[in-house]
Amino acid sequence: MCNCPVCDASVTISDDPVEGELLECEECGTELEILALDPITLGEAPEMEEDWGE
């Protein structure tokens, strides 16, 4: 179990995590990437921005 770096919600990690694995935070929807395994470190995954007309 780790915490989302964006909203601090608990994020469940699989039993056999892999560096570079992508996860989604259930609460804030941020796509997360496993940056390191020992200890497990999560970061925001780079993502394609949707065009919101901005």
Partner 1 sequence: MINVAIAGGSGYAGGELLRILLAHPDVEVVQVTSERLAGKFVHRAHPNLRGLTRLRFVPLGELSHCDVLFSCLPHGESARRIDDFRAVADRIVDLGADFRLTDPSVYERFYGRTHPRPDLLGRFVYGIAELNRDELRTASLVACAGCNATATILALRPLYQAGVAQSAVVEVKVGSSEAGNRASDASHHPERSGAMRSYKPTGHRHMAEIEAVLPGPVHFSATSVEMVRGILATCHVFVDRHAGIDDKALWKIYRRAYALEPFVRIVKDRAGIHRYPDPNILAGSNYCDIGFEADRNANRVVVLGAIDNLMKGAAGQAVQAFNIMHGLPERRGLEFPGLHPA
Contact residues for partner 1, defined by CB under 8 A: 6-9, 24-25, 27-31, 50
Q: Two tokens at 44? A: 């925001």
Could you give the C-alpha distances from 14 to 48, 49, 50, 51, 53, in angstroms and in order?
25, 27, 28, 32, 36
Provide the minimum distance between the beta carbon of 47 and partner 1 in the complex, in angstroms, as a whole number.
8
Nearest approach in angstroms of CB 5 to partner 1 is 8
Cβ closest to partner 1, residue 18 vs residue 48? 48
Angle at 16 between CA 13 and CA 22, to 5 degrees: 50
- Least Å distance, CB 11 to partner 1, is 13
